[in-house]
Amino acid sequence: MSRPRAAYDGVVVCAPVTVPYQRFSPQPAHWWAGAALRLLARETGFGPADIDGFCFSSFSAGPDTAVGMTQHMGLTPRWLDHIPTGGASGVMALRRATRAVQCGDAEVVVCLAADTNQIDSFRQGLSAFSRFSQDAVYPYGFGGPNATFALITDAWMRETGVERTDFGRLCLAQRANAASNPLALQRGVLTMETYLAARPIADPVHLFDCVMPCAGAEAFIVTTPEIAAARGLAGAGILGTIERHNAYHEDPVQRRGGWAMDIDDLWTMAGIGPGDVDCLQVYDDYPVIVAMQLVDLGFCAKEEIVDFIRRTDFEIGGDLPLNTNGGQLSAGQAGAAGGFQNVTEGLRQILHCPLGAQVPDAGIAAISGFGLVNYDRGVCTAAALLKALR
């Protein structure tokens, strides 16, 4: 990289909203998108005419894309983006919207992810997910992402020495964090005994290693400091970001994500280190991916991951508050919105308007996304560091 990256000056991220999740919903994704826009309007006072940029992510809005949503929602944007990258879509939307606003192509960009979950959505969504999945994954037992991540988990456990109890620690901490979040679908206490005794889904993945698919929507706004101030909106600045797709495709099994390729760039651009982070919101479809991000984002060396998990308190009042809303593992996975909740929850913590308990004095959030198991691994990775503007 010869040209230095431009800082994200003159941009704020604000107005995180979450439409309360439901396990199943008879409503289509469009209804959930509309509900998120109503919440945004209530937070900000913006109406359809005020929005000049729109970025949309969804798995279940078909046959519509961001284009269909403009007519459906009465938007007339001068900047439009559709991001089909699921768990990485929140950070990717943030990156794109930020540059659009910074460069003057738009002034008020709504970033929105919405998905429904009808009774048979999960199976139907799986069967049409990707060509490589249809050809070379589903015919082998049709275990869905559980089976793919079982293979990744199996290899990663043997490489790092991480044990089920270590994954259990991560899951228990996230469940403890969910206890104060009234919107989390699973808030009951999870004990190590219950975690270990759960039924096997695809060895070594067991029930509490899996997210609960649900319906929901998440959104936020990227705009100029002047507009945010005029509306009285608290906001955060962006210290640094990275994004990478199809990294390390030569690894036989995914043992690291694209973050590892660009991690120095992230911290250098931000001018801070992992020790400066007040809360960490990572994509958590399975605990192995949480642990992988702890390593690849630079919070610990790979050979130290077992010790790191055992000596770190990941709860809201702990050393490294992790997925403070409970993450997808406890709050639920609302399709592409699952790739947005890291952004909205990180923003809430540093803007001091959390859904549940507040991380004391939080000012900097690290956010990480991971998405799209096109074949045998997650292809898309992205991360961002946000700092509250006060």
Which residues contact another protein by CB under 8 A? 122-123, 126-128, 131-132, 134-144, 146-147, 150-152, 154-155, 158, 199-205, 249, 252-253, 375-376
Query: CA 376, 381, 385 angle in degrees (round to 5)?
Result: 155
**Distances, alpha carbon 206 to alpha carbons 8, 137, 287, in Å:** 41, 20, 11
CB of 199 to another protein, least distance (A): 7
CB of 269 to another protein, least distance (A): 30
The pair of three-digit structure tokens given for residue 16, joined into one six-digit string: 């995180």
Q: Which is nearer to another protein, 249 or 311 (CB)?
A: 249
Residue 1, exposed/middle/buried by CB under 10 A (0-12, 13-18, 19+)? exposed
Place of tokens 């070594």: 204
Q: Which is nearer to another protein, 203 or 226 (CB)?
A: 203
- CB 66, CB 55: distance < 8 Å: yes
CB of 283 to another protein, least distance (A): 21
Q: What is the rounded distance in angstroms from the CA atom of residue 14 to the CA atom of residue 2?
A: 32
Q: Which is nearer to another protein, 204 or 274 (CB)?
A: 204
Q: Which is nearer to another protein, 291 or 350 (CB)?
A: 291
Q: Which is nearer to another protein, 126 or 272 (CB)?
A: 126
3-state class (DSSP) for residue 133 = helix
CB of 376 to another protein, least distance (A): 6
Q: Which is nearer to another protein, 151 or 229 (CB)?
A: 151
Q: What is the rounded distance in angstroms from the CA atom of residue 294 to the CA atom of residue 290?
A: 6
Contacts of 354 (CB under 8 A, 6+ apart): 324, 325, 345, 348
Q: What is the rounded distance in angstroms from the CA atom of residue 228 to the CA atom of residue 222?
A: 9
CB of 333 to another protein, least distance (A): 16
- CB 4, CB 195: distance < 8 Å: no
CB of 310 to another protein, least distance (A): 24
Q: Which is nearer to another protein, 68 or 204 (CB)?
A: 204
CB of 328 to another protein, least distance (A): 18
- Sign of the dihedral through C-alpha 77, 83, 87, 90: negative
- CB 371, CB 378: distance < 8 Å: yes
